[in-house]
Copies of this chain bind each other. A is one copy, B any other.
């Protein structure tokens, strides 16, 4: 990938001298920022902007590591072939007219893919804005030249944006509004070859990048994406378009991207420590914030101190901190003592710390003194402070920055006031490593993203999948390898049982005597079910009999079931289990992420209690436990109203096993354990089905 980011020599195929054209803008952008040699290519010119223009890329002198192509779509394939012949390792194709434009364009793109595979040339694009590097000042893009007019702020945040026009819009917006410096902004377009994973891999190693933000409509290679994120020490923030039904439909219609299930994508991202954003500037704010705090103390909790010079600010900040799942720090006795000496007598010491009365009493030095005490308080993990800059705060700010620096804790500033002074403090704060926000809720969101982010390395070290694989043999193994469609309840549960998942006691019976013997062994009441090949809706077919309480009843029901099935099916007797809670555990095979485990509430409440949660298999024990912890409402798992709490370790094992089953047998398309009944805390699979790919698939 180095050819894209640090090329020795760049050829521009489709350079032109016509000022309104993209081929001209790319040339100008190259000439302004790129330090190496630029070779315009166009048979119609011998010279362009003082540079020699070559008739073909084949004529360009060495060294040249990168070609940027902007020619009409039907001519691009030949241009790429020429680049390969010339030995150029990387090509950024910025022309449109490919897969985004109907069948003809799709065919052209397929040809590019073929050429890439055959020649080994890495292809970036087509239909993209290319690359902008704020540190090296590389603008390998037809983005408007106005990008140079605003200082072209370098920063340590890199972006990967699927949508091209949007990427350009944001870039110029962020730079012209001085909102954020940029390390690298990559517009990936149609992804014929180079995709978000390739770029992410590069940026994770890039020394100029401290945080990475991605806007994606699809994540086709979900597993590689997750592996990269999991191994990254750098914070990664993803805004995933198409998380709702309406958005997914729009994504499908726009780029034919399969947006996937929102809840599954959310689960997969959370699993590998990615911060999920829901809006664009929110993503940028989170990136710039997280980039400021590469290292944080190992043990940190969400104990926040709020400092304000206005009661109202402290109150609303408290509301938002609580809503974000952070907690207000309980100030230490030493801090309380300091505040008591600064406060007027009538004023109680509390968090939020309202310093206005202290400032009134002792002047602004009270502010810095109190600020320092709070920052250094061992009970405080992070500080959120409010500054109203009305011509009085400017010079104070460096004192605050000193206190923050010496405490080593993150301090976030919510800032309002006079425009000029606000701008000054913003600049000063950026230098001092204090993130500044103009909106209180955004301040709290970013603080929560920082404090709740798993520590770098945690996800890799302790949680790498160390568990044993499923290793079935004999009949069940052969069923999973050769059969197709929905397996019956009994076979399904035998498979789950063989995987180590607790299942209800049950047995197939073929006579009244066997029924009575089984029922006696399990203890009354028992359940009896008629199983018929290919018929899964047993309840609807009247083939489920509950609460059978006596020998006589058992025999009657057995005969009745046999009659109802015309002697064609088998009869299953099982223990009737009453529990305090019904769960659903499942396996789905996602197009982007592969086998994923699902956990939700079952029974009557299934549809009421919100979305199930997902994690991608295989799961480590820690991942399985985290999945359990993410279920809402969580109270139901905690031993609600006298019930036993769910045995988390036992449930985690079930989730792990179900995931391993999916990983070990690719023909397992779906597993549904419904219900998984929790009795005295222990989960047991009571009904289940394993669904295989159709035979021949």
Contact = CB atoms under 8 A, between A and B. Distances in A.
Interface stretch (A245-253, A486-494, A621-629): A245-253
Nearest to A306: B250
Contact of A314 (B101, B173, B254, B282): B254
Given A176-B419, A241-B312, A101 B344 contact: yes
A604 B608 CA distance: 14
A319 interface: yes
A150 B421 CA distance: 13
Contact of A322 (B162, B215, B247): B247
A199 interface: no
Interface stretch (A68-76, A273-281, A447-455, A583-591): A273-281
A53 to B, nearest CB: 27
B279 A439 contact: yes
A171 to B, nearest CB: 10
Copies of this chain = 2
Contacts of A254: 311-312, 314-315, 354
Contacts of A354: 254
A393 to B, nearest CB: 11
Interface string A307-347: 00111111110111111000110000000000000001111
Contacts of A155: none
B314 A176 contact: no
Interface stretch (A115-123, A528-536, A632-640): A632-640
B279 A312 contact: no
The dominant DSSP class at the A interface is helix
A173 B163 CA distance: 34
Given A250-B352, A322-B245, A352-B250, A388 B169 contact: yes
B319 A168 contact: no
A170 interface: yes
A99 B439 CA distance: 30
Given A102-B345, A322-B244, A344-B102, A390 B166 contact: no
A440 to B, nearest CB: 5
B165 A253 contact: no
A318 B247 contact: yes
Nearest to A241: B315
Given A176-B417, A241-B315, 10 more contacts: A101-B346, A150-B419, A163-B313, A165-B310, A172-B390, A176-B419, A177-B419, A245-B322, A247-B318, A279-B439
